[in-house]
Amino acid sequence: MKINDQQIKKWLLAEGENQQRLFKKARSIKEKIFGKRVWFRGLIEFSNICQNDCAYCGIRKGNKKPERFQMSWKEILACLKFIQKANYGSVVYQSGELTADLFKDYLLKIVRLTHQKFPELGITISCGEQDKKFLKALRKAGATRYLLRIETSNPKLYAKLHPQEMSWPKRFQCLKDLQDLDYQVGTGVMVGLPGQTIKNLIGDLHFFVENEFDMFGVGPYVIHQDTPLSKDLKVQQWWHQNKKRNFNLFLNFLAVLRILRPKVNIAAATAADVFDSLGRIKVLQVVGNVIMPSITPKDYRDKYLLYENKPCIDEDAEKCYDCLTQKIIHAGLIPVFGEQGNSPFYYQRKINV
């Protein structure tokens, strides 16, 4: 579909009846491909150790408050057994970004063992920027999908939100490497970042389409008090005053993405629940076809706070299973178990190359 920037802008700013019309269009496109089905992936946040200092993130290296952890293989195995019992078709391993050899060896071991013991599970990795050789080894060990949000497609805005050592071109190159290695590649941005314009968001959508990503994780930006961004009082005030606007912008952004890319997987980001207790469900009703319930053990959840008011931190995997399946069924959607849920766009892309 050809993108007309004027139309996209109208959609992004839609309210009231116009917004409902936009949602209806996005929903009908989504349902043509996925029906009312929602794929489940068990999310294991296995380490909060991070070498980066992103200005928005609660587990940034410079924040000394959270106690740092790395789950043992025994703990991870218990999570995998839960995933098997719940019959979620995939596991997502997420952590802070670390490029130390010790960490890389450990991650490789986790992926290898997971693939050996649970060959039917889809394995997704979300552990930041890594070098191509290592990504190749992970792919060989059984990982088939990788999530790496570009955070913003605009290198100038990126530079404002990240320390000098982090480079937009390097991040982009990592996404290209992943595509080259035949991963299903997921990316995304945060919507409602301080300093982010409508033009930036239109640029993000172009970036997504031009680079042919298979999966998306897009979430609303949420303030965290122990980060440099929230120390700016203007940002704090702006964020609190624009919560409703930003949540709407986030939903509209995803609706446009679905219109532009009918066959991609779109996950309902947990951060949506900060704005509305049914945030994730609203995403699934309009555009999303993937949910990633947390399997992270209760003891670690309050140490993995990327943003404030993260939901479900006093819950365990069982509770998240019950709560989300009930909410999904109540919303007229169908939880799907026992399927890996690969991106249909990935297969289409493979036929075309």
- Closest approach of ligand 5AD to the CB of residue 319, in Å: 22
Identify which of residues 226 and 339 has a Cβ nearer to ligand 5AD in the complex: 226
Identify which of residues 50 and 260 has a Cβ nearer to ligand 5AD in the complex: 50
Identify which of residues 151 and 273 has a Cβ nearer to ligand 5AD in the complex: 151
Terminal alpha carbon distance of the chain: 19
- Closest approach of ligand 5AD to the CB of residue 211, in Å: 17
Identify which of residues 34 and 216 has a Cβ nearer to ligand 5AD in the complex: 216
Indicate the residue type of 232. D
Phi, psi of 16 (to 5 degrees): 50, -130
Q: Which of 80, 79, 142, 81 shows the shortest CA–CA distance to 109?
A: 142
Identify which of residues 149 and 263 has a Cβ nearer to ligand 5AD in the complex: 149
The residues of the shown chain that bind ligand 5AD, judged by CB under 6 A, are 56-57, 149, 151, 190, 219, 221-222, 224, 271, 306-307
Q: Is the dihedral of CA 33, 148, 14, 206 positive or negative?
A: negative
Q: CA-CA distances (angstroms) from residue 139 to 69, 163, 267, 272, 337? A: 25, 29, 22, 30, 24
- Closest approach of ligand 5AD to the CB of residue 123, in Å: 17
- Closest approach of ligand 5AD to the CB of residue 224, in Å: 5
Q: How far apart are CA 48 and CA 50, in angstroms?
A: 6
Q: How far apart are CA 24 and CA 26, in angstroms?
A: 6
- Closest approach of ligand 5AD to the CB of residue 207, in Å: 15
Identify which of residues 70 and 348 has a Cβ nearer to ligand 5AD in the complex: 70
Identify which of residues 224 and 282 has a Cβ nearer to ligand 5AD in the complex: 224
CB 285 within 8 A of CB 333: yes
- Closest approach of ligand 5AD to the CB of residue 353, in Å: 27
- Closest approach of ligand 5AD to the CB of residue 36, in Å: 27
Q: How far apart are CA 270 and CA 279, in angstroms?
A: 8
- Closest approach of ligand 5AD to the CB of residue 162, in Å: 11
Q: Which of 338, 348, 149 shows the shortest CA–CA distance to 264?
A: 348
- Closest approach of ligand 5AD to the CB of residue 43, in Å: 10
Q: Which of 105, 169, 170, 92 shows the shortest CA–CA distance to 134?
A: 105
The pairs formed by 323-328 with CB atoms below 8 angstroms and a separation of 24 or more are 324/40, 324/280, 324/291, 324/293, 327/278, 327/281, 328/38, 328/281, 328/284, 328/291
- Closest approach of ligand 5AD to the CB of residue 222, in Å: 4
Identify which of residues 219 and 288 has a Cβ nearer to ligand 5AD in the complex: 219
Identify which of residues 137 and 190 has a Cβ nearer to ligand 5AD in the complex: 190
Phi, psi of 47 (to 5 degrees): -155, 140
Identify which of residues 56 and 82 has a Cβ nearer to ligand 5AD in the complex: 56
